[in-house]
Amino acid sequence: MVKRNSNGRAAGLLSVIRRGIRHAALRRGIFIGRVTAPGAPNTPEAHLSYLLSALGINCVLDVGAHKGEFCAMLRELGYTGPIRSFEPVAAHFERLQARMAGDAQWRGFQIALGTEDRDAEIHVTRSSTFASFLGPSDYGNRQFHDDLESERDERVPVRRLDGIWDECMTGIEHPVVLLKIDTQGMDLEVVRGAGDRLAAVSAIQTEVSLKPIYSGMTTGLADSLGQLKAMGFEPTAFAPVSRDPVDHLRLIEMDCMLIRVAPGASPAAGVTPVA
């Protein structure tokens, strides 16, 4: 009995050490672990790191940046290239600016992106991650009532991505772009607002929904995948974002990573394998 407990403690300590080594390596852009296929790491962070390298991404557009969490992760993964973050909510943008300080390659824009240039009211909710131009759905009210409660509205500028593209790409020759979008229900509006500039986007990370938290959201799983496929993008990874707060099992939202695929090619043909 004592021997089994001792072995259990040793195994637990070894597991902690292994996790620490994997985490330290991942911070330097090195993946240690099992892979599902050659060159295809099976964790979201490792797959993102692989994709950045495989596609030669040299600019990340972070739309719906909140307080800079996604871009901080990119830096931990070893991506050192240009980042352009977009966050319209004043309090969030202030925190974003603090996070960008000292990083010359990371610039922020206090605007939202959409299909037309305009000003619009955004609902700033009790839980800051739920801020949206849309109101809650019946499902959202039932399951996230307190978090979705609007504390105030802010009038913010909305711009098309193609209209500010040149400013974003200043100093970047031949941009190869990862477009990350998290706008709480309006991600496809951002993609449509890219217009012809979408040709420079090699990968998209977007949030897709299985249950609508907001009324009028356009990010349903089937619709999003269908429309993005029509634009030339096919999925390469999915990662759960949130689950139903009652049973903690049913998926509500996922992050979907897609890559641009040439017409008639298989998805693998659009990626240069890492040696």
Q: Which of 231, 227, 223 is nearest to 263 (CA)?
A: 231
A 10 A CB-CB count for 246 gives: 9
Amino acid occupying residue 85: S
Output Rg (C-alpha) for the chain, integer angstroms.
20
For range 207-226, the mean pLDDT: 92
Residue 145's pLDDT band (boundaries 50, 70, 90)? confident
The string of pLDDT tens digits covering residues 82-125 is 999 999 999 999 999 999 999 999 999 999 999 999 999 999 99
Q: Residue length, the chain? A: 275
What mean pLDDT do residues 244-258 have?
A: 93
pLDDT at 26 over 70: no
Q: What is the pLDDT of residue 263?
A: 63
DSSP letters of 223-263? HHHHHHHHTTEEEEEEEEEEE-TTTS-SEEEEEEEEEE--T
Q: How many CB atoms are closer than 10 A to CB 162?
A: 15
Q: Please tell me the predicted confidence (pLDDT) of residue 245.
A: 85
For the stretch 46-91, pLDDT in tens is: 899 999 999 999 999 999 999 999 999 999 999 999 999 999 999 9
Indicate whether 37 pLDDT > 60: no
**Quick check: 1 pLDDT over 70?**
no
Does residue 265 carry a pLDDT above 70? Answer: no
Q: Is the pLDDT of residue 4 over 60?
A: no
pLDDT band of residue 8 (cuts 50, 70, 90) is low
Tokens 């300590």 found at: 13
Q: What is the pLDDT of residues 154-198, one digit of tens each?
A: 999 999 999 999 999 999 999 999 999 999 999 999 999 999 999
Residue 30's pLDDT is 52
Contact 100, 85 (CB under 8 A): yes
Averaged pLDDT of the chain: 86
Tokens of 37: 């296929």
User: According to the model, what pLDDT value does residue 275 have?
Assistant: 28
What is the pLDDT at residue 171?
Answer: 92
pLDDT tens for 101-112 read: 999 999 999 999
Identify the bridge partners of residue 138 per DSSP, sorted by sequence position. Answer: none
What single-letter amino acid sits at 165? W
pLDDT bracket for residue 43 (50, 70, 90): confident
Q: What local confidence, expressed as pLDDT, does residue 16 receive?
A: 56
Mean of pLDDT values over 242-269 = 81
Rounded-to-integer distance, Cα 70 and Cα 73, Å: 5
